[in-house]
Amino acid sequence: MRSKDIPLVRELDLFAEMAESSFDALMQAAFLQRFPPQVQLITEGEPADFLYVMVEGSVELFANGNGRETTIEIINPVATFILAAALRDQAYLMSARTIENARILMIPSETVRAVFASDAAFARAVVRELSGRFRTVVKALKNQKLRNAVERLANYLLRKESEQGGEGTVTLEIDKRTLAALLGMTPENLSRAFGTLKPYGVVVKGREIRLTKTADLTALAKPSPLIDDPAS
């Protein structure tokens, strides 16, 4: 890895508190790679040779089955993906492709496991990250099982609006086809769900969404911190 990138990585939560020597061990084996959009990085079922850390850009995690494909999660900086597979030395459960230009740190799984065993601060950081990812997936499962399509969309919009500053506007970071897969519906149905939300002040113009009646939308969405709050 180029030495100019090292301070950037060192500041990431996952690495901030570990011993210098452990960090060096990781970095010696790691490389920070740039990828163009729409590159498939990993394929489900293959052995987990690397731990991936999103440094810049975004990645879509998806899975295939039954001739269908679904999006599990969108990964943004700073988070890891396929940490669980790397720690267990098992196959990836999900595939991954870049959405936009991305910089991704790749660390051989074996190195991760070795440093995990020897550096307690890193072990704590790994557990913090892993337990966070666990809770994210549980929330996604609750979202999917307890809500219908329109409610999932409404909550998604409200969450993004608040992440993007609470100014009543949302810029979708993914195309609508991917959003549909993420929300567990077809693109056609997503389009209709936007239509259903029009009376609740949702104005769609391409990827720019304006929320003009957030109170009404919130009443419909009934957001719950135990599903929608990323921090909880």
Instruction: List C-alpha distances in Å: 28 to 58, 77, 92, 104.
Output: 24, 22, 24, 15
Is 44 exposed, middle or buried, given 0-12, 13-18 or 19+ CB atoms closer than 10 A?
middle
Of DNA, a second copy, none, which one sits near residue 175, judging by CB under 5 to 8 A according to partner kind?
DNA
Stretch that binds DNA, among 41-49, 143-151, 161-169, 218-226 (CB under 7 A): 143-151
The correct pick among 77, 187, 201, 223 for binding DNA (CB under 7 A) is 187
Question: Considering only 26-34, 39-47, 49-57, 176-184, which stretch makes contact with DNA by CB under 7 A?
Answer: 176-184
Q: Does 34 bind DNA (CB under 7 A)?
A: no
Q: Residue 16 touches which of DNA, a second copy, none (CB < 5 to 8 A by kind)?
A: none
177 is a contact residue toward DNA (CB under 7 A) = yes
> Residue 57: which of 83, 28, 33 has the closest Cα?
33
Residue 89 CA to residue 28 CA, distance in Å, equals 20
204, β-bridge pairs: 209
Cβ-based nearer residue to a second copy, 90 or 101: 90
**Residue 103 binds DNA (CB under 7 A):** no
CA distance 189 to 205: 17
Q: How far is the CB of 135 from DNA (least distance, A)?
A: 24
